[in-house]
Amino acid sequence: MTQVTRTDVVIVGAGPVGLFAVFELGLLDLKCHLIDILDRPGGQCAELYPEKPIYDIPAWPVISGQELVDRLMEQIKPFQPQFTFNRMVCALERLEDGSFRVTTDEGEVFEAKVVVIAAGGGSFQPKRPPIPGIEAFEGKSVFYAVRRMEEFRDEDLLIVGGGDSALDWTLNLQPIARRLTLVHRRPEFRAAPDSVNKMLALRDEGKLTFQIGQVTALTGEDGQLTGARVKGPDGEVEIACTRLLPFFGLTMKLGPIANWGLNLHENLIPVDTEKFETSEPGIFAIGDINHYPGKLKLILSGFHEAALMAQAAKRIVHPDQRVVFQYTTSSTSLQKKLGVAG
């Protein structure tokens, strides 16, 4: 029997808007569980531009992506949000009693009366390198992540990339692979210098090969890879390999959201501007993922959407309670929830 986690609201996406939704829902006594494909909160702010200054957050003349995330985490702490990271929400279905069941790609099950999609540009997924015909090998001999190291034992392994993922897996898989070649387009790496030095030491001991270049073609049959052509500064070479691990960073894809029976408009979810509810009552969409006339993809717009959404979510979760609008500056009950009452 699968264990079911029950909460008031499941939030799909832990970017800035998903995080702030915890605050607005929390003031109305709604408990939240956030699910995100990344391994930490922050969404694009954490993954794409942690160091970049943002200039249009009200009252912050300048704040970095990571600092904004850190501040939001501090702000929502009193509401004790629960997080499930490294998971993609695969399925969203309505149960007989009108509530929702949310299932992740690892099979975890959540049930809630309200679902808030705050998925930004979609879920971050490994970028497919632009090598013709690579699709035919995916899942059989081309992998974008290492789930089980054993799958690479005694294989002729080709790893492509110059970041931490590429270097870490080079170091971890080298002892069990039959042969390992690392391909990167230039001699400089983005990865931690320590990992690079370890890799170069293994190369000097003859335990792996490092080749400068870009993979241009793959050979093999029925999904089984036999070799890759690498174009380098001194021309093209053929490298024999049975497994390929390309690490080309992440890109955003709408992903399974397209299969949830919601109306879509060019990969965005249309919502009303009173409650930010989708075509399915009880499912809301806020932040960059939604669409309505005049929509601007700004973090501050997402914050506003979260506040209005929370009012509607409250009525669904606690239909018997009267919602009294209150200010955090003057309401003792709100201040108690925030842990700041005098």
Partner 1 sequence: MTRITFIAPDGTRYDVEAENGSTVMENAIRNGVPGIEAECGGACACATCHVYVDEEWTDTVGAPEAMEEDMLDFAYDVRPNSRLSCQIRVRDELDGLVVTVPERQA
Binding site for partner 1 (CB under 8 A): 48-49, 52, 127, 129-130, 161-163, 184-186, 188, 190, 214, 248-249, 251-252
Q: What's the closest the beta carbon of residue 102 comes to partner 1, in angstroms?
A: 27
Any alpha helices (H) in the chain, and if so which ranges?
A: 16-27, 43-47, 65-76, 164-173, 193-204, 299-317, 332-337
Angle of CA points 89, 91, 94, to nearest 5°: 125
- The distance of closest approach from Cβ of residue 43 to partner 1 in the complex, given in angstroms and rounded to an integer, is 13
89 is in an annotated binding site: yes
- Map residue 219 onto helix, strand or coil: strand
Q: Which is nearer to partner 1, 163 or 227 (CB)?
A: 163
Phi, psi of 158 (to 5 degrees): -120, 120
Alpha-carbon separation of residue 110 from 33, 96, 99, 317, 336 (angstroms): 9, 15, 11, 15, 28
Residue 329 among known ligand-binding residues: yes
Residue 215 has φ and ψ, to the nearest 5°, of -75, 125
Task: Compute the least distance from the CB of residue 184 to partner 1, in Å.
Answer: 7
Task: Please check if 36 is assigned to a binding site.
Answer: yes
- How many whole angstroms from its chain centre is CA 203? 34
- Which of 217, 334 has the CB closer to partner 1? 217
- Binding residue per annotation — 327? no
Q: How far is the CB of 36 from partner 1 (least distance, A)?
A: 18
Is residue 11 packed enough to be buried (19+ CB in 10 Å), middle (13-18) or exposed (0-12)? Answer: buried
**Least distance to partner 1 from the beta carbon of 4, Å?**
37
Closest contact distance (angstroms) between CB of 274 and partner 1 is 29
Contact present, 243 and 158 (Cβ < 8 Å) = yes
CB of 298 to partner 1, least distance (A): 11
Q: Which of 159, 149, 201, 150 is nearest to 179 (CA)?
A: 159
The residue among 48 and 57 lying less far from partner 1, judged by its C-beta, is 48
- CB closer to partner 1, 53 vs 175: 53
Minimal distance, residue 252 CB to partner 1, in Å: 7
Beta carbon nearer to partner 1, 47 or 277: 47
- Alpha-carbon span 113 to 96, nearest angstrom: 12
Give the whole-angstrom CA distance, residue 59 versus residue 62.
Answer: 9
Q: What is the chain's alpha carbon radius of gyration, rounded to the nearest angstrom?
A: 24
- 6/186 with CB nearer partner 1: 186
Minimum CB distance to partner 1 smaller for 186 or for 265: 186
The residue (of 10 and 215) whose beta carbon lies closer to partner 1 is: 215
CA distance linking residue 300 with residue 303, whole number of Å: 5
Closest CA to 25 of 276, 277, 313, 280: 313
Q: What is the DSSP letter of 325?
A: -
Binding site, by residue number, is: 36, 44, 49, 89, 124, 288, 329
Binding site for FAD, by residue number, is: 36, 44, 49, 89, 124, 288, 329
